A and B are shown apart, each in its own frame.
Chain A
Amino acid sequence: MILAIIENAFLSLIGSAIPASAVVMLAATGAMLGERVGVLNLGQEGLIGIGAVYSVIAVLSWGVESPWLAMLIGMIAAAVAGLIFAVCVVAFRASQVLVGLALALGGIGLSNQLGTNRNGTPIQTLFREVNPGGILDNHDAVSAFLFHDPVVYIAYIGLPVVLWFVLFRTRHGMNMRAVGENPAAADAVGVSVTGWRIFYSVLGAALTGAGGAYMVLSFTPTWSPDIARGRGWVALAVVIFAGWRPGWAVAGALLYGSMISLDTTAQARGWGLPFMGASDLSFFLSMLPYVVTLVAILIPAGAVKLGRRVRSTAAPAALAIPYSREER
């Protein structure tokens, strides 16, 4: 009996964590793409908002009926924001941290503004779950793990596999990694550092925008202000947790996604904390993703301190450092 309850709770957690984390997964992949070529975009939170609000606009105002098309529109909007960011930090070599923070705040503000009179309007144009032939209908365990909409499969399987393959199995990916590790070296052998950095930050922004679009087209599914609710920041943490490796981002996103779901569930059910006299668990759960990030950062740092090299999980060496050929 108790086992069944626990199993049930666990399954419902997984069932909601997977789609909840898909947003994080898309944004983390987008962020990772830029970071692999040395561009740190702290504006993920804003890009999610922009992607989301433009998908909402596409559906509610422009009458777009395909969720794919709505998502594409969200992605394009985020890509435009990403392009502005990339031109500032790559071409004009502005501080990636400052412009990224501006994008985060500006993107949230802009999307809230655009979304004001669309608050709470339910969105009908939704991604549908894939349920092959109804064979295993109503089996909780299977449906929790398996029956999701196609975006989930793309986010968790398609994207990481493709990105891993490109990064580690192609000439192109090798050059990408070189741009992120040592742009001067890449430049010296004829790789266009500026071009690649701009291209991949824009592509990354589009992916993060897809995350935002997914929120409103499947997950919530409605516009509400501050739609990202910290998922953009969590995505940045996932990239660190994953050690810039696409496969690990899946684990990271699920871990973080579960923490978010747990938090939401706890708030909804009013779970209290059995210690510290807190009647509300949520302050602790909201904090959890960031605590885990700290630990994830400290583990490799600690290993270095102990004299072990953990190079494969280290950040790209040129991350957030602008490059100019004639500067030394």
Chain B
Amino acid sequence: MTGDGTRPSVEARGISKAFGGVAALDAVDFEVRWSEVHALVGENGAGKTTLCNILAGIYRADAGQVLVDGAERDFRSPAHAIDAGIGMVHQHFRLVEPMTVAENIHLGWPETPGVVSQRALVDRTEQFMGEMGLHVDPTARIWQLSVGEQQRVEILRVLARGARVLILDEPTAVLTAKEADDLFRVIRELAASGLSIIFITHKLREVLAVSDRLTVLRQGVREITRPTEGATASEIARLMTGEERVLDVEHRTVTGQAALELKGVSALNDRGIEALHDLDLTVRSGEILGIAGVSGNGQSELAEVICALRPLQSGSITLDGADLASLSVRAVTDIGVGHIPEDRIGMGMVLSAPVKDNAVLHNYWTEEFSQGLTLDRQGVINFAKQLVETARVQTRSVFSTAGQMSGGNQQRLVARREALAADRLLVAAHPTRGLDVNAAQEVRSTLIDKRDSGCAVLLISDDLDEVLLMGDRIAVMYEGRIMGVFDSADADREHIGLLMGGHSAVEAAS
């Protein structure tokens, strides 16, 4: 089975798939070989996940064939694909949260003993982890694990069933740099042992670092399949996007009155532990203040206290001198504060509602959209159409549900909607997380437009490059405190990196 690295393991021929009349894949050919790491790249919505879901028996193709080891297969359910040796680790993990690691690994597995005891499952799991050289506490429950550990459970589960073809859907999107490096090592080892690895990503650095060959998808069509050796990042980017748009941000120094002002702010996180400690911060009108920091250092709580989504323990928050903290969420929106939430699916939109309704979530009650007591349907539709157009949201129509759009398009919609609502302050939490190059650039341009029109912009991101690119001033956050604030001209990457890691200013300076 361990191939010479040229025999195909899985082949897809002429695969097409449409959702509600919109083509997600159009006659795509795709071939993976034994012993290779094959990167599948493309922008959000290119069809990468759809293609892999077809290989894994989750979706059924409208047309085309799937061949495994040269033989045609018809997967009617994931069980068939598993039997054929194809295992997929989904972007949104498919683990049962209240169950233990050992139980999750043994779920749906015919080799699990008919009568089980926690002890036996744990023993089997430990033995198996030893063989694979991957370890997670088998007695831990899934919700207690970090995302990286959960991913390891998924990988173990797939390997336990004897998968020979391992599909990883954007596995690094949720990992820290160290976890990602560990994953790359595992991937390389598995490929060296003869497995096929399909690795979905849109981070070009990763493609170049780990893959043997790569396939680029764009808008449901295969652009190219080629060896990674000799490929350059800019070439792949061009194939992915079809065009190159680079953002050049001009920074400005704004003086004068603070628009948003936080004084001595303390707040608790969801678990009741203090997440913000006596924090001072100002954002002026017409500037972008970037918050740098490793996620989980109070950034989410910061965004939430400003937007009245989380109560203050102490301190004050004012916008142009007026108290913000005592206002209701709706009142905060009314006075011109926009919020691009970190969790766009949970907080930013109603996935089951049509795009048009999502477009007016903030202001459907205003006079603009009312006719007496009822909603001005046509007005809403027109507004949504315009929003969709200016934000370049790709959707079948404003009547299809928000859930049918890809993540990038959902984020474009939320970002533009919030930008419109924000006259005075826009709080953007990880607004480009998980977005491809183009969508990210568009969201960034939106933020810059807002700044240029005189709005105060607070940008929270765990991508330091983004903070450095966008921020007119940069504040570093660590364990709920501001470690330092810099003008973009004085911002030194290494220095900020040290502060993000919790080294005090003095240590960092020496």
- Residues of A near any B CB (own CB < 8 A): 169-172, 174-175, 177-178, 181-182, 184-192, 307, 311-312, 314, 317, 325-326, 328
Among B98, B108, B272, which residue has its beta carbon within 8 angstroms of that of A191?
B108
Within 73-114 of B, Cβ neighbours of A (below 8 Å) are at 77-79, 82, 88, 90, 94-99, 103-104, 106-109, 112-114
- Residues of chain B within 8 A (CB-CB) of A174 are 99, 103, 106-107, 112, 116
Complex Cα distance, B161 from A307, in Å, reads 38
B178 adjacent to chain A (CB < 8 Å)? no
Cα(A190)–Cα(B87), bound, Å: 11
Contacting pair A189 B98 (CB below 8 A): no
Q: Is the CB of B90 within 8 A of A188?
A: yes
B177 part of interface (Cβ distance < 8 Å): no
From B104, B113, B161, B403, A171 is in contact (CB under 8 Å) with B113
Q: Tell me the nearest residue of chain B to A314, going by C-beta.
A: B98
Residues of B within 8 A of A189 (CB): 78, 82, 94, 107-109, 157, 161
Within B38-95, which residues are at the interface with A (CB < 8 Å)?
A: 56, 58-59, 77-79, 82, 88, 90, 94-95
Number of CB contacts from chain A to chain B under 8 A: 87
B255 close to chain A: CB less than 8 A = no
A189 to B, closest residue via Cβ: B108
Report the Cα distance A185→B103, complex, angstroms: 12
Q: Min CB distance, B105 to chain A, in Å?
A: 10
Query: When the two chains form the complex, which single residue of A182, A307, A312, A328 contacts B94, counting CB atoms closer than 8 Å?
Result: A182
Verify if B115 is at the interface (C-beta below 8 Å from A).
Answer: yes
Contacts of B115 in A (CB 8 A): 169-171
Distance in angstroms between the alpha carbons of A242 and B263 in the assembled complex? 48
Give the distance in Å from the alpha carbon of A185 to the alpha carbon of B19 in the complex: 22
Q: B117 contacts the other chain (Cβ, under 8 Å)?
A: yes
CA distance A207 to B112 in the complex (A): 29
> Which chain A residue has the least Cβ–Cβ distance from B271?
A307
CA distance A172 to B113 in the complex (A): 10
Report the bound CA distance from A48 to B77 in whole Å.
36
CA–CA, A188 and B53, complex, Å: 10
Most buried by A among B88, B108, B113: B108
**Which among A172, A185, A307 is the interface contact of B114 at CB below 8 angstroms?**
A172
B267 CB, min distance to chain A CBs, angstroms: 15
A to B CB contacts below 8 Å, 23 in the list: A169-B116, A170-B114, A170-B115, A172-B114, A178-B96, A178-B108, A181-B97, A182-B94, A185-B95, A185-B96, A185-B107, A186-B96, A186-B107, A187-B78, A187-B94, A189-B78, A190-B78, A311-B98, A311-B141, A314-B98, A325-B58, A325-B59, A328-B403
A189 CA to B272 CA in the complex, in Å? 36
Map CB proximity to A onto B268-299 as digits: 1 under 8 Å, 0 otherwise: 00011000000000000000000000000000
| Most-contacted residue by chain A among B79, B103, B107 (CB, 10 A) | B107
A115 to chain B, nearest CB (A): 42
Complex CA distance for A41 and B457, rounded to whole angstroms: 50
The tally of residues in B whose CB lies under 8 Å from a CB in A reads 35
Q: A170-B116, A325-B59, A328-B403 are in contact. Are A184 and B94 (CB under 8 A)?
A: yes
Measured CB to CB, the closest approach of chain B to A167, in angstroms, equals 11
- Complex Cα distance, B78 from A312, in Å, reads 29
Majority-rule SS of B interface residues: loop
- The 8 Å CB contact of B107, one of A178, A325, A326, A328, is A178
The minimal Cβ–Cβ distance linking A219 to chain B, given in whole angstroms, is: 36
Partner of A188, one of B78, B97, B403: B78
State the Cβ distance, B345 to closest chain A Cβ, in Å.
Answer: 10
Do A181 and B106 touch across chains, with their CB atoms under 8 A apart?
no
Chain B: which residue is nearest A307 at the CB level? B272
Task: Tell me the complex Cα distance, A182–B104, Å.
Answer: 11
- A187-B78, A307-B271, A307-B272 in contact; A171/B96 too (CB < 8 A)? no
- Given contacts A185-B107, A186-B96, list 10 more A-B pairs with CB under 8 A: A170-B116, A174-B106, A182-B97, A188-B90, A188-B94, A189-B94, A190-B78, A192-B79, A326-B58, A328-B403
Q: Using CB atoms, name the residue of chain A closest to B83.
A: A190
Q: Per a CB cutoff under 8 Å, which of A169, A181, A192 touches B77?
A: A192
Residues of B near A182 (CB, < 8 A) are 94-97
Q: Tell me whether A185 and B77 are in contact (CB under 8 A).
A: no
Task: Looking at the assembled complex, report how far the CB atom of A191 sits from the nearest CB atom of chain B, in whole angstroms.
Answer: 4
In the bound complex, residues from chain A placing their C-beta under 8 Å from that of B113 are: 171
- Once the chains are docked, how many angstroms separate the CA of A174 from the CA of B82? 19
What are the 8 A-B residue pairs with the smallest beta carbon separation, nearest first? A190-B79, A189-B108, A185-B94, A188-B94, A171-B112, A191-B108, A181-B96, A190-B108
Q: Which B residue sits closest to A165, measured CB to CB?
A: B115
Residue of A nearest to B117 (CB): A169
Question: Which residues of chain B are within 8 angstroms of A187 by Cβ–Cβ distance?
Answer: 58, 77-78, 94
Residue of A nearest to B93 (CB): A185
Give the complex CA separation of A170 and B226 in angstroms: 48
A170–B95 CA distance with the chains assembled, in angstroms: 19
- Alpha-carbon distance A324/B157, docked complex (angstroms): 23
Complex: chain A residue closest to B58, CB-CB? A325
For B144, give the chain A residue with the smallest CB separation: A309
